[in-house]
Amino acid sequence: MSLSVAVLGLGLMGGSVALAAKSKGVARSVAGWDPSAKACATALARGLVDRIEVDPEDAVAGADIVVLACPVIQVPEIAIQVGPSCGPGTVVTDLGSTKASIMRGIGPVLAGGATFVGGHPIAGSEKSGCAHSEGGLFEGKLTVVCPGLASEDSIRRIEQFWQSLGSRTIRMDSEEHDRALAATSHLPHLLAFLLAGLPAEKDKAFAGGGFRDTTRIAASDPDLWAGILLDNRSAMMPLIDLIIMKLEQARGVLSDNSKDAAQKLSSILALGHRFRTGLDEARDSRQ
């Protein structure tokens, strides 16, 4: 592939897309835009992009692929804004961790004739900013493609783009995607943030490996995650009710002084143990 790519949003994810596209020879040129002058300067200094544009409309002019790497609540607005500046052969995609609201907010064809195909690479880091961008961030990772009503040709172009960056791809309905990510990403982030806020400052010295491992993702950008959690609230609420029920179940066992309390608690913990060890087994089988 030898594409002209525009990346709108030069944080960790957008910067990593730009770097991967350049380092793997997928893009012959990468144009970048970000509202932050610092992010633009860093991306240009690191060679993540070939040029920076002041206006997003100028960044997308002549692009084969446009990647919207901005916060989820901004994706529809920016897609509609740049649509008239894209050519009829341009395919626009995004990196948003939620998909249903984005797919509702953007039609399959933008003004000017460009096509929109939703996307979400299941990759990332608790770090933020394009200074932490990685060219191999998507290697071996899964990218969800939400076709909506886009043409088969446009869908295949986005799938091929992600595959050329090293990713595996799967097609999903946007509502199905949001339900799955609520359980596997969004609720875990919420719980990590809440758990990391429990210890008193004087207890920081006792935060060992277990605490650090469990709360690693709480080092993520709170503003970014507030937007994601609110955008996916309809899928989140039943899971929050479920985790409250499970906590109450565990609380009941912990307050039980009977001889079989340990066995009851072990049975509760075993469910999570089986799922978590199964993840490692599945990963090992792919390698």
pTM for the model? 0.91
Owning domain of residue 248: 176-255
Domain-embedded: residue 153: yes
Question: Which CATH number characterizes residue 127's domain?
Answer: 3.40.50.720
Q: Is the pLDDT of residue 13 over 90?
A: yes
- Both 31 and 124 in a single domain? yes
Q: Based on the structure, what is the number of domains in the chain?
A: 2
For position 163, what pLDDT does the model report? 98
CB within 8 A of 84, min separation 6: which ones? 57, 110, 111, 112
Amino acid symbol at 81: Q
- Both 149 and 202 in a single domain? no
Domain-embedded: residue 163: yes
- Both 183 and 92 in a single domain? no
Largest CA distance in the chain: 72
- Both 67 and 193 in a single domain? no
pLDDT digits (tens, 9 = 90+) for 99-108: 999 999 998 8
pLDDT digits (tens, 9 = 90+) for 41-75: 999 999 999 999 999 999 999 999 999 999 999 99
For position 258, what pLDDT does the model report? 87
Q: Phi/psi class of residue 122: alpha, beta or left (left: φ > 0; alpha: ψ in -120 to 50)?
A: beta
- Both 188 and 136 in a single domain? no
pLDDT digits (tens, 9 = 90+) for 249-267: 999 999 988 889 999 999 9
Q: Is the pLDDT of residue 283 over 80?
A: no
For position 280, what pLDDT does the model report? 79
Alpha-carbon distance of 163 to 138, in angstroms, equals 9
Pairing of strands 142-146, 115-121: antiparallel
For position 287, what pLDDT does the model report? 59
pLDDT category of residue 286 using cuts at 50, 70 and 90: low
- Both 100 and 228 in a single domain? no
Contact 121, 97 (CB under 8 A): no
- Name the helix (H) or strand (E) containing 158: helix 152-164
- Both 30 and 78 in a single domain? yes
pLDDT, mean of residues 208-225: 95
Percent of the chain with pLDDT over 70: 98
Domain-embedded: residue 238: yes
